[in-house]
């Protein structure tokens, strides 16, 4: 293959495109002719290699890395996948050649014909009938080429699209994601009259002022004009039309013209994430005889974005940004995502309380912005710029200046009319240099209606006013750092974290702590969790290849893959170098199943909060929204009692305006509950009593059908007033072996001390796991010291557990009760050198055949000490197999915090029941911690036929130390003496 273009496009950073049309905001999708489908395909070893005569087939859009075994997906985070410095690339450079025939409709005669390629990774060369028509170099923005001179209406032509994988541009697309190759968005043809709307720019403020600026190209004969119509309003007013030299048209002919339409819309419905009101806007270009030459239709929203002091305002309101970062990803198609895929992503975000999305780290398909406009999500639109591995070299390298400005400006030109876009981002992790200042200056001149942000600009000085960022948007700053800045008196800009709470594996600890500070500290305004979705690719274990679009139906569901498949991450395709499981850092699994942390976020972002005053015995609901009242919601009460179980009764939500509060009527009898037994139908056992308001949608929303659960705020009405567990007379014998280990018919392995957990990703990358192994906590050896019995049959066993940091002394006292239960009282003393361990508690294994757990405590999903805001305290029930959370790399999971009691039973209802002395961290799984730690994937695990049970007096928080801060000091397990007790009895 040879290129007739002036230079080799994959090796020249100064060349950003050739014959590529300017970007615009006119939607040409209606009436276009799709060229998607199955194309002829060849994968060549390098761009200079000549195609052969033998053709394979490939889907368009599609990534060849997902179906061609000669070039498989490759995952790196910071490192480039090859050692060359910019702008150099390897000689071995996979190149895909796509070819097909197409016909130009005969009715397009005398009109323009434009080829649209939605995206190609990373260099695109387009040829028609063997002649080049254009080059595009940008993996995430469309390339359009005017091919009028190259085609004949009614004629049949051959279109060849050549895609070169590695280029100088790869060095500024060094994002934390899989490297792919292919045509990743749709290909189409569209037509316009020779006189056409070249661009339409809309400014619509929340005060109802509308301005529409039109750019027109073509033979501008005297008397051309534009007209506009706004849905529900009527015709817009046209100002005088001008050519590019600002000469009034109607007297002067020109090729480029400009015109403005305007209106003042009274009683306008404003657009916001809560209430995304849209208006249809139609713009028409008229020839001198009044006939219509071109039409543009788009949905617009009236809203205003501004920064006032330290606050980002939307429509004049300071709105907390509850955001998440999102990549284009699908486990079967890689970078290729459809409209239903994008809708499902955004619907899931909305249902779990997110109100913003950052398009990390490139512009998304325009369909995503259409959906954000429709569903209601604020968007930080980010340019396709990240030079992570060579950031400092490139930031001021003049060869890359055109690419920086081109990518930022084309994004703004395309997306400027979307009300959902509230901030422009100059890219990500690319140091800070002259290129950023140049790009920011262009944006501020072209679109002063939105702020600009760039994390790298503010990295060294959050208080600076002389930088290319209107927002301080740090990544993974600690809670202490951001609160100290907000309270320093030096803050000059809003602080909105562009990345925080890294969701890798079992993670997102201290999310509630962050939001407690954000909601109460002026100057802090939210952030974007990293990230939305795990990038696990469905892999066939038989041959190690991607399963591809033809995967067997049912190959994955609920985060779990079927036999013969697994979720692949870095290194699983033989990709070297790689960054392993670091791509599995989403709030949802690859199949979009929510992880437990999603429920944590949902409650923290809930539109409704509930509080209870035990003195007045009154409850209050708080509307935390900015625009809507509570009329779109319904509710019911869930009364959770320790002994009486759960009871559901209707609730009546009061009409509460945004930001206001109002009392809510409690269920009958609740207000009298202070331990009085006469409260009708309610538990009077002296146990805890919790009240949960289950809030659902009252009617269908664009993102949720009626009855969708929105949140479950919970309050405690009564603390336990009776002894727990209730005393029973001592009676019966306790059986132990000679070393003091308990022998019990319900247990296959006795309770021993546990100080270690199968390391989470945060434990491994944050350093805690290595420290625990150095101490020997993963291989504790019990050394018996003494076994004694008292006159009532109690047995006390003392044992030591040597570690490299000192000896842990563990004491257990076993007492048999006359009711058949066994009381286990334990104490463990940790030396000062063991300053931060994973847990302190008991680990045991039950008899086989117990497959159902019922517990009283928060639930039903997994929770941990620093991630425990997402579950209602009530009685919950689940299969044991469903308690385990299948994070892509096996690790500690399935824990339930704050458990008061639980039972494990088999199919016949028999089993064991455990009561705890206080709310404790409990986990019940089919896997030992050592087995989890040894496995790289879940298909390497063999579940046990019994339950592995951990009862912890203390358990370390999760934090987010895989990328960002570790857990906070209150959630660390410290040295000293820890005491806990529990009672087990047969069911």
Catalytic residues: 429, 499
DSSP letter, residue 472: B
Region for residue 234 given its phi and psi (left: phi exceeds 0; alpha: psi -120 to 50; beta: otherwise)? left
Tokens (6 digits) for 503 = 């969701």
Q: Chain-centre distance of CA 173, in angstroms?
A: 20
Report whether 800 contacts 792 (CB < 8 A).
no
Q: Which DSSP string corresponds to 291-357?
A: -EEEEEEEEE-B--EEEETTEEEETTEE--EEEEE----BTTTBT---HHHHHHHHHHHHHTT--EE
Using CA atoms, how far apart are residues 325 and 537, in angstroms rounded to an integer?
Answer: 19
CB contact at 8 A, 108 and 153: yes
Residues 277 and 288: beta-carbon distance below 8 Å: no
The DSSP element (H or E) to which 438 belongs, if any, is: helix 434-446
75 half-sphere exposure, CB direction, 13 A CA radius: 20
Distances (CA, A) of 355 to 347, 363, 707, 730, 773: 11, 18, 20, 57, 41
Query: In terms of DSSP H, where are the helices of 847-957?
Result: 880-883, 929-934
Contacts 24+ apart (CB under 8 A), 804-809: 804/774, 804/775, 804/776, 805/775, 805/831, 805/833, 805/834, 806/830, 806/831, 806/832, 806/833, 806/834, 807/831, 808/753, 808/755, 808/780, 808/834, 809/785
Buried b (16+ CB within 10 A) or exposed e, 631-648: ebbbbebbbbbbebeeee
Angstrom distance (rounded) from CA 203 to CA 221:
28
What are the residues whose beta carbons fall under 8 Å from the beta carbon of 286, sequence distance 6 or more? 224, 225, 226, 227, 292, 293
The secondary element (H helix, E strand) that includes residue 439 is helix 434-446
What is each CA distance from 194 to 197, 220, 276, 328, 961, in whole angstroms? 10, 10, 36, 36, 58
Angle at 603 between CA 597 and CA 606, to 5 degrees: 135
State how far the Cα of 842 lies from the Cα of 978, in Å rounded to an integer. 12
63: helix, coil or strand? strand
Whole-angstrom distance, CA of residue 781 vs CA of residue 788: 21
> What tokens appear for 123 in the block?
């260099």
Helix (H) or strand (E) run with residue 410 in it: helix 401-415
What phi and psi, each to the nearest 5 degrees, are found at residue 440?
-65, -40
Beta strand pairing call for 495-500 and 524-529: parallel
């Amino acid at each position: 293959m040879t290129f007739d273009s002036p230079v080799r496009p994959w090796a020249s950073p100064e060349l950003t495109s050739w014959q590529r049309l300017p970007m615009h905001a006119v939607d040409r999708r209606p009436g276009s002719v799709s060229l998607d489908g199955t194309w002829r395909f060849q994968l060549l070893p390098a761009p200079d290699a000549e195609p052969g005569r033998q053709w394979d087939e490939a889907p368009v859009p599609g990534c060849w890395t997902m179906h061609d075994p000669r070039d498989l997906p490759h995952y790196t985070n910071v490192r480039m996948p090859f050692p060359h410095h910019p702008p150099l690339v390897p000689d071995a450079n996979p190149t895909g050649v796509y070819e097909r025939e197409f016909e130009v409709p005969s009715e397009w005669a005398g009109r323009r014909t434009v080829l649209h390629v939605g995206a190609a990774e990373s260099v695109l060369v387009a040829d028609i009938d063997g002649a080049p028509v254009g080059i595009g170099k940008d993996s995430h923005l469309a390339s359009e080429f005017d091919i009028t001179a190259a085609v004949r209406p009614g004629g049949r032509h051959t279109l060849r699209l050549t895609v070169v994988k590695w280029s100088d541009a790869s060095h500024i697309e060094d994002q934390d994601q899989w490297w792919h190759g292919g045509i990743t968005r749709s290909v189409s043809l569209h037509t316009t009259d020779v006189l056409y709307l070249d661009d339409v720019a809309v400014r619509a403020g929340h005060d109802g002022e509308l301005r529409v600026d039109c750019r027109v190209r073509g033979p501008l004969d005297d008397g051309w004009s534009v007209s506009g119509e706004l849905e529900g309003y009527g015709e817009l007013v046209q100002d005088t039309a001008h050519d590019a030299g600002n000469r009034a048209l109607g007297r002067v002919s020109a090729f480029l013209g400009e015109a403005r339409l305007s209106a003042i819309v009274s009683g306008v419905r404003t657009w916001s994430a809560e209430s995304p009101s849209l208006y249809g806007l139609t713009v028409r270009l008229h020839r001198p005889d009044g006939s219509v030459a071109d039409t543009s239709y788009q949905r617009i929203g009236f809203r205003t974005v501004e920064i006032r002091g330290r606050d980002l305002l939307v429509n004049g309101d300071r709105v907390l940004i509850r955001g998440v970062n999102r990549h284009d990803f699908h486990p079967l198609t890689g970078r290729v995502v459809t409209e239903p895929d994008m809708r499902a992503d955004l619907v899931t975000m909305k249902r779990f309380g997110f109100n913003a999305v950052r398009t990390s780290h490139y512009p998304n398909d325009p369909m995503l912005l259409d959906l954000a406009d429709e569903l209601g999500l604020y968007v930080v639109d980010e340019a396709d710029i990240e030079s992570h591995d060579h950031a400092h070299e490139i930031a001021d390298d003049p060869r890359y200046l055109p690419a920086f400005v081109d990518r930022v400006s084309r994004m703004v030109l395309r997306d400027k009319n979307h009300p959902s876009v509230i901030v422009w981002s100059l890219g990500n992790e690319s140091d800070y240099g002259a290129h950023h200042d140049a790009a920011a200056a262009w944006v501020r001149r072209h679109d002063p209606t939105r702020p600009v942000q760039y994390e790298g600009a503010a990295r060294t000085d959050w208080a600076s006013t002389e930088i290319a960022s209107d927002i301080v948007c740090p990544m993974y700053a600690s809670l202490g750092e951001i609160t100290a800045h907000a309270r320093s008196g030096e803050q000059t800009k809003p602080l909105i974290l562009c990345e925080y709470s890294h969701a890798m594996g079992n993670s997102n600890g201290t999310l509630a702590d962050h939001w407690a500070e954000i909601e109460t500290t002026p100057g802090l305004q939210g952030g974007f969790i990293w990230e939305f979705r795990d990038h696990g690719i469905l892999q066939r274990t038989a041959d190690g290849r991607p399963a591809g679009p033809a995967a067997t139906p049912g190959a994955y569901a609920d985060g779990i893959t079927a036999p013969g498949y697994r979720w692949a991450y870095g290194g699983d395709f033989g990709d070297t170098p790689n960054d392993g499981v670091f791509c599995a850092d989403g709030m949802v699994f690859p199949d979009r199943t929510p992880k437990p942390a999603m429920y944590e976020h949902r409650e923290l972002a809930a539109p409704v909060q509930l509080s209870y005053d035990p003195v007045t015995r009154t409850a209050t609901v708080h509307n935390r929204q900015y625009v809507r009242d509570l009329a779109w919601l319904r509710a019911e009460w869930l009364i959770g009692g320790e002994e009486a179980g759960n009871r559901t009764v209707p609730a009546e939500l009061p009409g509460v305006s945004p930001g206001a509060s109002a009392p809510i009527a409690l269920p009958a009898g609740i207000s009298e509950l202070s331990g009085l037994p006469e409260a009708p139908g309610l538990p009077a056992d002296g146990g805890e009593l919790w009240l949960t308001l289950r809030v659902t949608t009252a009617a269908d929303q664009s993102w949720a059908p009626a009855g969708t659960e929105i949140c479950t705020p919970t309050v405690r009405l009564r603390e336990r007033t009776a002894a727990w567990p209730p005393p029973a007379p001592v009676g019966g014998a306790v059986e132990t072996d000679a070393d003091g280990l308990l022998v019990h018919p319900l247990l296959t392995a006795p309770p021993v001390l546990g100080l270690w957990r199968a390391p989470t990703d945060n434990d491994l990358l944050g350093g805690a796991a290595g420290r625990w192994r150095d101490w020997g906590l993963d291989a504790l050896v019990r050394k018996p010291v003494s076994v004694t019995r008292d006159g009532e049959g109690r047995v006390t066993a003392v044992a030591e557990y040597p570690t490299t940091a000192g000896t842990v002394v563990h004491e257990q006292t076993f007492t048999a009760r006359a009711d058949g239960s066994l009381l286990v009282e334990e104490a463990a003393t940790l030396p000062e050198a063991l300053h931060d361990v994973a847990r302190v508690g008991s680990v045991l294994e039950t008899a086989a055949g117990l497959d159902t757990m019922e517990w009283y405590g928060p639930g039903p999903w997994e929770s941990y000490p620093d991630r425990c805001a997402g579950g209602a305290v009530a009685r919950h029930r689940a299969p044991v197999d469903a308690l385990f959370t299948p994070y892509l790399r096996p690790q500690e999971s399935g824990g339930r915090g704050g458990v008061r009691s639980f039972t494990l039973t088999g199919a016949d209802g028999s089993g064991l029941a455990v009561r705890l002395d206080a709310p404790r961290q409990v986990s019940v799984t089919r896997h030992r911690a050592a087995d989890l730690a040894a496995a790289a994937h879940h298909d390497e695990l063999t579940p046990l036929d019994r339950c592995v049970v951990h009862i912890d007096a203390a358990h370390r928080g999760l934090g987010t130390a895989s990328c960002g801060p570790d857990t906070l000091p209150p959630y660390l397990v410290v040295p000293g003496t820890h005491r806990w007790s529990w009672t087990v009895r047969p069911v």
